[in-house]
């Protein structure tokens, strides 16, 4: 705990304060986007990049480039060969991750909408968010 996430200028923006999950999280996989689903033959499918852009637009904000995510609860192990595996999350209902903002920031959360591969097990599930 206490690990800081920093801006591109090395200023702390968020600090990991707590994690009651089995601890599998990912920072290797980019946010899914409309092009990903077009490539899978499902144009118009919901995506994390699209969810981010929509949430920001609701606040009157926009971005030139979608930042890459902290994929909380995603289990993407790296095999000895260097290949990434996309496995269903080990987290359970009630597991929680707590971040503390170290500066004013906008945090957008997207429940992974991937329902075409096994990464979400039987499919996306609801998520609760508390802002304190």
> pTM above the 0.85 mark?
no
β-strand partners of 19: 97
Q: Are strands 97-101 and 12-19 parallel, antiparallel or unpaired?
A: antiparallel
Dihedral, CA of residue 15, residue 16, residue 17 and residue 19, to nearest 10: 170
pLDDT tens digits, the chain, 132 residues: what are they?
A: 788 999 989 999 999 999 999 988 999 988 999 999 999 999 999 999 999 999 999 999 999 999 888 999 999 999 999 999 988 889 888 999 999 999 999 888 887 788 877 777 777 778 888 888
Q: Which is nearest to 114 in space by CA: 58, 53, 30?
A: 30
Are residues 100 and 17 in contact, defined by beta-carbon separation less than 8 angstroms?
Answer: yes
Q: How many helices (H) and strands (E) does the chain have?
A: 2, 3
């Amino acid at each position: 705990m206490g690990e800081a996430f920093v801006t591109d200028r090395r200023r702390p923006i968020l600090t990991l304060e707590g994690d009651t999950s089995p601890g599998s999280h990912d920072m290797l996989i980019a946010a899914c986007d409309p092009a990903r689903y077009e490539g899978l033959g499902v144009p118009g499918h919901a995506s994390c990049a699209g969810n981010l852009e929509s949430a920001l637009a609701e606040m009157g904000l926009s971005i030139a480039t979608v930042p890459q995510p902290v994929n909380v609860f995603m289990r993407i192990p790296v095999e000895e060969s260097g290949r990434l595996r996309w496995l269903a999350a080990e987290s359970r209902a009630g597991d929680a991750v707590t971040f503390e903002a170290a500066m004013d920031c906008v945090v957008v959360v997207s429940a992974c909408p991937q329902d075409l591969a096994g990464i979400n097990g039987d499919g996306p599930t609801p998520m609760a968010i508390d802002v304190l």
